[in-house]
Structure formats: C-alpha cells, structure tokens
C-alpha cells in the first residue's frame, strides 16, 4: 500500500503540543515547529479506522485490556525484535515516563542515586530529582559526532552502594545510538556486579534505521531478568503519543508483582479506552505502514545530510542509527548557546529543541525532528542556512 507522508496536514488549533506551545517555548508562535518528538504524519489507516469505529459507539466507559491487548504485544515483539515473551510479563502503563516513575518509587528510596547517560531526554533529569533521588550523570563520550559509553565512569558510579537504578535510553534520545551487543553486555555485567537495577527505556526501539536493529537488553541477557524492567510503547512508532498507552515487560515474577502493586497504589493502571484500541490495531496491522515510514525517515535523514554537506559543512551531523531525531552540532559557528537559540528563533524562525535542555553536554547542539513531510524539512534547512549566512558568516550577531 502507498502512504502519503508528503501530505501537509495543518495542526494549528488541534491542541498539539508541538504547535500550540510554541509561544511558551520559543517566545513566539511563528517558528517552524521541528521540535517535540511526535510526527506530522497521520497514524496508520487501520488505526484511524479502528478509532473512528470505536468513537462511533458513543459510550466511552472504563476499559479493560485483555489478552487481545497482550497478544498484540507478544506477537509484535516476536516478529519485530525476535523476542519471545509471555502475556503475563506485560504490565500496562499510561506512558513510558509513568513506568519509569513507578520503578523509581518501588525500587529506590529518596536520597538513593540514579544513573542517566547525558546528554539525554530532559525528563530523565526531572523524574529523578523531582522524586528526591540523586542524579549521577554518566556522560557519553563524543568523537566526531559518534557517541559511546564511558564504562569506567559507569562502573565507578554503579559501585557506590547508594546507587540503585540505571535509567537507560536504548535507542538513545538524542544521540541516536542503537546500542550494540557488546555495549549491552558490559552494562549488564556492571549492573549485576554492583547490584544495580536497570530501567531500560526502549520507546524508540521500532525506529532503527539504515540497517541497524534493536537489541532488547532483557532478551539478550536473561541472567539480568531479576533486575530489569523494559519500558516500551507504540507511541513513537505509530505517532499516537497523545493516546497514552505504554507497557512494561518484566519477566521476573517477584519484580513484576512489586511493579504491579506500586502501579495500582499510584492509580496509574486504568488507562484510556482509545489508547488500548490503537495499540492493538497498530501492532496487528501497522507493520507495512511502519516499513514505509522508516524508508521515508531515512530519505529525510539523507536529505539533511546532503544539504549540510553542500551548504554548511561545518555543522556536525552523523546519520542516526535510530529515531527521527537528529542531533546537530553547531559548535563551529562559535555562538554561545543563548545566541544560537536566539538566532535560530529570530532570524531563522525555526524551532528545534535546544541542545542545553538535554544537559550541559548539549551546548552548541540542536535536536531536529525529521518526522515531517520533505517540503517542511527542506524549508527548515533553508531557514537554518539563512541563520548561517546572516549570523555565523557575517559574525554580526
Ligand atoms: C527516551 C524517551 N522516553 C520517554 C518518552 C516519553 O514517553 P511517554 O510519553 O510514553 O511517557 C520519550 C518521548 O519523547 C522519549 O524520547
């Protein structure tokens, strides 16, 4: 089937975070929105149809998620990630961040230390600190735009007896790495050795690009099953983040019971009716759409690469192994992070995620969301080039 990812669908006035929060985030609503991580594409036709059908019933009461829901997940993971799990290992959650929060509360205490790998998705900071845990930054090592893990630092941080949890982003937002087997093995070994629990956020797992594949940590190393919670969702994959439907996979029954009890204690178990429908249909009927989407995203990433190479080769960029989020390095422009941001907003009128919001390591970077029609990405690139020509080249800003 053909899907039209080139279609421009106006989103203004639809309560879309990406559009309607521009004034608050950028101080103006006239920037081209290439920031927050959702896409400007329609969800797969089967999902749209199922939601319309369900909406036409007109009764929207409390909902259950039975084995139709869990078997859609089981089959999806088996087909897409060659991971055999059991229905009973699945715990529903209204989001990946809520899953992480439940795990933090159940498996650590206030004052305990939690490791994250920076620069990273900003809520990883606040979810730790605002829940009164202490943050340990396992800063990633960057070399010519490619990121790897500082294992010596990780080991030192994990060996602190107060370190209880490692919140892991795989594939990583924003650096785009789909971590390989050797890296995962070293993490598993360190966490086993120092008795650290792993909360593995694999929300971007379906979006591996350019021949890379996702390796679920819990699948590779069953020996860590008593210390790993895998958090997944169809939200990024099928552009249904607004439907709040995610899940955690926990093979170990003791761990799972504790997670389950805490989820209920926090009253997070109920979830919304449409989210359940969308997850089930997306996983059962969305594979073809996802393949087409990934192809389109790869074309967009290559288009950015080509444009940068031709027009602004000083901007650092490495094709992502996964995600529709590109991590662009503007450090050679020599602007302070504040000036870079101001110039992009005021001169370029382009709204990307500011690198520093991912941590101090992000100074001089911007995160570009390529989950939009090609014409929109092309326009975004032109606007960035305008900033380059008017601000960086003339150094007058
Ligand atoms: C790494 C990562 N985790 C979690 C989330 C958010 O998940 P949810 O909306 O299900 O809480 C995002 C969204 O961008 C993300 O990139």
Shared-domain flag, residues 191 and 257: yes
**Ligand 1 atom, smallest distance to 172 CA:** 1
Closest CA to 202 of 299, 85, 105: 85
CB count, 10 Å around CB of 357? 19
* pLDDT at residue 178 is higher than 80: yes
396 lies in a domain? no
12 lies in a domain? no
The rounded distance, in Å, linking the Cα atoms of 232 and 96 is 6
Shared-domain flag, residues 303 and 243: no
Distance 57 CA to ligand 1 centre (A): 31
Tokens of 176: 């785009």
185 lies in a domain? yes
Please give the average per-residue pLDDT across 22-35, as a whole number. Answer: 96
pLDDT of 391 reads 84
Shared-domain flag, residues 180 and 257: yes
pLDDT of 1 reads 83
State the CATH number of the domain containing residue 36. Answer: 3.90.1150.10
What does the pLDDT look like over 89-145, one tens digit per residue?
999 999 999 999 999 999 999 999 999 999 999 999 999 999 999 999 999 999 999
Shared-domain flag, residues 230 and 85: yes
Residue with tokens 């602190």, as numbered in its chain: 160
State the CATH number of the domain containing residue 125. Answer: 3.40.640.10
pLDDT of 394 reads 67
Domain boundary among 285, 310, 328: 285
Shared-domain flag, residues 170 and 239: yes
Number of domains making up the chain: 2
**Ligand 1 atom, smallest distance to 94 CA:** 10
Residue with tokens 């009764």, as numbered in its chain: 59
* pLDDT at residue 392 is higher than 80: no
**Separation of first and last alpha carbons in the chain:** 49
Shared-domain flag, residues 231 and 295: no
Report yes or no: 315 and 330 within 8 Å, Cβ to Cβ: yes
Tokens of 165: 């949890």
Distance 185 CA to ligand 1 centre (A): 24
Shared-domain flag, residues 137 and 27: no
What does the pLDDT look like over 79-101, one tens digit per residue?
999 999 999 999 999 999 999 99
Shared-domain flag, residues 154 and 294: no
Report yes or no: 176 and 320 within 8 Å, Cβ to Cβ: yes
- HEC readout, the chain: CCCCCCCCCCCCCCCCHHHHCHHHHHCCCCCEECCCCCCCCCCCHHHHHHHHHHHCCCCCCCCCCCHHHHHHHHHHHHHHHCCCCCHHHEEEECCHHHHHHHHHHHHCCCCCEEEECCCCCCHHHHHHHCCCCEEEECCCEEECCEEECCHHHHHHHHCCCCEEEEEEECCCCCCCCCCCHHHHHHHHHHHHHCCCEEEEECCCHHHECCCCCCCCHHHHCHHHHHHEEEEECCHHHHCCHHHCCEEEECCCHHHHHHHHHHHHHCCCCCCCHHHHHHHHHHHHHCHHHHHHHHHHHHHHHHHHHHHHHHHCCCCECCCCCECCEEEEECHHHCCCHHHHHHHHHHHHCEECEEHHHHCHHHCCEEEEECCCCHHHHHHHHHHHHHHHHHHHCCCCC
188 lies in a domain? yes
Closest CA to 232 of 187, 201, 275, 191: 201
Residue from 203, 204, 327 to probe ligand 1 pocket by mutation (most atoms less than 8 Å from CB): 203
What does the pLDDT look like over 222-266, one tens digit per residue?
999 999 999 999 999 999 999 999 999 999 999 999 999 999 999
Question: Does ligand 1 come within 6 angstroms of the Cβ of 37?
Answer: yes
372 lies in a domain? yes
Residue from 99, 201, 353 to probe ligand 1 pocket by mutation (most atoms less than 8 Å from CB): 201
Closest CA to 117 of 90, 143, 146, 153: 153
Distance 389 CA to ligand 1 centre (A): 35
140 lies in a domain? yes
Distance 121 CA to ligand 1 centre (A): 8
Strands 353-354 and 365-369: antiparallel
Report yes or no: 65 and 73 within 8 Å, Cβ to Cβ: no
Question: Does ligand 1 come within 6 angstroms of the Cβ of 275?
Answer: no
Please give the average per-residue pLDDT across 339-354, as a whole number. Answer: 97
Domain boundary among 256, 285, 314: 285
5 lies in a domain? no
Question: Does ligand 1 come within 6 angstroms of the Cβ of 121?
Answer: yes
Nearest CA to ligand 1 atom 9: 95
* pLDDT at residue 396 is higher than 80: no
The rounded distance, in Å, linking the Cα atoms of 93 and 125 is 20
Question: Does ligand 1 come within 6 angstroms of the Cβ of 207?
Answer: no
8 lies in a domain? no
Domain boundary among 285, 312, 337: 285
- Calculate the average pLDDT of the chain: 97
The rounded distance, in Å, linking the Cα atoms of 110 and 14 is 39
Shared-domain flag, residues 117 and 252: yes
Return all residues near 387 (Cβ < 8 A) that are at least 6 apart.
343, 344, 347, 348, 350
Shared-domain flag, residues 85 and 205: yes
Distance 203 CA to ligand 1 centre (A): 6
Shared-domain flag, residues 245 and 365: no
User: Residue 144: is it exposed, middle or buried by C-beta count within 10 angstroms (0-12/13-18/19+)?
Assistant: exposed
**Ligand 1 atom, smallest distance to 95 CA:** 10
Please give the average per-residue pLDDT across 278-304, as a whole number. Answer: 98
Question: Does ligand 1 come within 6 angstroms of the Cβ of 322?
Answer: no
Tokens of 170: 């795989």
Question: Does ligand 1 come within 6 angstroms of the Cβ of 241?
Answer: yes
Closest CA to 266 of 141, 100, 38: 100
Question: Does ligand 1 come within 6 angstroms of the Cβ of 99?
Answer: no
Report yes or no: 17 and 36 within 8 Å, Cβ to Cβ: yes
What does the pLDDT look like over 299-327, one tens digit per residue?
999 999 999 999 999 999 999 999 999 99
CA dihedral 146, 149, 153, 157 (to 10 degrees): 130
pLDDT of 397 reads 44
Shared-domain flag, residues 234 and 353: no
The rounded distance, in Å, linking the Cα atoms of 272 and 180 is 35
Domain encompassing residue 155: 47-285
pLDDT of 395 reads 59
């Amino acid at each position: 089937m053909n899907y039209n990812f080139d279609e421009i669908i106006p989103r203004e006035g639809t309560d879309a975070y990406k559009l309607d929060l521009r004034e608050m985030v950028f101080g103006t609503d006239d920037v081209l929105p290439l920031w927050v991580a959702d896409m400007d594409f329609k969800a797969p036709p089967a999902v749209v149809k199922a939601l319309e059908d369900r909406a036409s019933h007109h009764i929207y009461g409390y909902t259950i998620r039975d084995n139709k829901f869990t078997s859609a997940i089981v089959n999806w993971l088996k087909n897409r990630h060659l991971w055999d799990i059991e229905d009973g290992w699945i715990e529903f959650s209204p989001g990946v961040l809520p899953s992480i929060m439940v795990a933090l509360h159940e498996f650590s205490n206030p004052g305990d230390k939690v490791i994250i790998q920076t620069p990273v998705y900003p809520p990883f900071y606040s979810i730790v600190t605002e829940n009164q845990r202490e943050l340990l930054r396992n800063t990633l090592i960057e070399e010519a735009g490619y990121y790897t893990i500082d294992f010596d630092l990780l080991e030192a941080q994990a060996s602190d007896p107060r370190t209880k949890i490692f919140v892991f982003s795989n594939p990583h937002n924003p650096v785009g790495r789909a971590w390989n087997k050797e890296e995962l093995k070293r993490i598993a070994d360190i966490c086993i050795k120092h008795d650290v629990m792993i909360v593995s956020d694999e929300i971007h797992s379906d979006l591996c690009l350019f021949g890379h594949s996702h390796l679920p940590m819990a699948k590779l190393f069953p020996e860590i099953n008593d210390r790993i919670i895998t958090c997944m969702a169809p939200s990024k994959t099928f552009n249904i983040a607004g439907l709040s439907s995610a899940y955690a996979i926990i093979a170990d029954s003791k761990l799972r019971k504790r997670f389950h009890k805490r989820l209920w204690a926090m009253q997070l178990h109920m979830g919304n009716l449409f989210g359940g429908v969308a997850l089930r249909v997306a996983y059962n009927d969305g594979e073809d759409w996802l393949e087409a989407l990934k192809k389109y995203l790869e074309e967009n990433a290559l288009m950015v690469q080509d444009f940068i190479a031709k027009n602004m080769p000083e901007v650092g960029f490495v094709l992502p192994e996964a995600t529709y989020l590109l991590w662009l390095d503007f450090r050679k422009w020599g602007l302070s992070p504040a000036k870079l941001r101001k110039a992009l907003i005021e001169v370029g009128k382009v709204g990307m995620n500011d690198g520093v919001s991912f941590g101090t390591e992000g100074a001089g970077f911007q995160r570009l969301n390529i989950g939009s029609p090609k014409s929109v990405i092309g326009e975004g690139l032109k606007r960035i080039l305008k900033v380059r020509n008017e601000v960086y080249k003339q150094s007058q800003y």
